[in-house]
Every structure is written in C-alpha cells, then in structure tokens.
Amino acid sequence: MNKLTKTQQKKYLPVLLDILKQLGVKLERMEDAVLLGEVDSSGSDGDDIGGQSYTRDMQLSLLENEDEILKATQAAVKRVEDGLFGTCMACKELIPPRRLEVLPYSSYCVGCQEKSENGNLEL
Ligand SMILES: [Zn+2]
C-alpha cells in the first residue's frame, strides 16, 4: 500500500475542515429554507403551492448532494487521523495530488472512481 507521509496528509486537514465549515453553514441555511417553505405553504391561499413544492424538491435534492459531500469529507478527515488520507480505498495506490487539490474528499483514484460509478468496483 502506498501512503502519503503524515505531514503530507495533515496539509489537507485545514482544507477539509474548511469544506465542513462551509457545508455546515450552507446545510443549516437550506434546512431552514425547507422548513420555512413548509410553514409558508400551510398558511398561504394555495395559488403558489406547485411552485413552492418544486423549489422545495430542488432544495432537498441539493441537500442530499451536499450531505454526500459532507459525509465524504468527514470520512476524509477520519482517514487523515488513521494515516490513510491520499490512498485510494480500492486499489491502495496513491491518489494523484492534483486530484486531491480539486476533490480533497475523494476516496478513490480516477480509475477506481470511474469503476465505482459504473458499478464495476468490487470492494
Ligand atoms: Zn484506485
């Protein structure tokens, strides 16, 4: 198994924590918006219900996506703690630094990510 040094791994920790912070704030705001949408529609005269529920669905699907990024980022923080950050969780090769700069929470190298998206990855 290839690994980054502890020092190399820890360089990504502030980046990951920053993502978590940003996502935390955003998630909170979105949850509020979703809840407020429900309160508003129950008190409205009904003219705008279709539009509102459409917006709410979009907010919920965004929330789901951000929730996935949140979970992936939390997992990445845990990998720094475990000393495994930067290693592909499937083939155990190093994830290229350029990929980590763009997607610091990625747990697979490009090849394994593609396989997992195609459903061809066996873990
Ligand atoms: Zn891989």
Q: What is the 3-state secondary structure (H, E, C) of 40-78?
A: HHHHCCCCCHHHHHHHHHHHHHHHHHHHHHHHHHHHHHH
Amino acid (1-letter code) at residue 35 = L
Q: What's the CA-to-centroid distance between 112 and ligand 1, angstroms?
A: 4
Cα–Cα distance between 37 and 40 in angstroms, integer?
Answer: 5
Give the per-residue pLDDT at 32: 72
Confidence of residue 41 (pLDDT cuts 50, 70, 90): very low
Q: What's the CA-to-centroid distance between 93 and ligand 1, angstroms?
A: 6
The model's pLDDT over 47-83, given as tens digits with 9 standing for 90+, comes to 555 556 666 666 556 556 888 888 999 999 999 999 9
Q: What's the CA-to-centroid distance between 10 and ligand 1, angstroms?
A: 21
Query: Domains of the chain (ranges plus CATH)?
Result: 6-117 (1.20.120.910)
Query: In the beta sheet, which residues pair with residue 87?
Result: 94
Locus of tokens 């350029």: 98
Q: What's the CA-to-centroid distance between 73 and ligand 1, angstroms?
A: 18
Q: What's the CA-to-centroid distance between 87 and ligand 1, angstroms?
A: 8
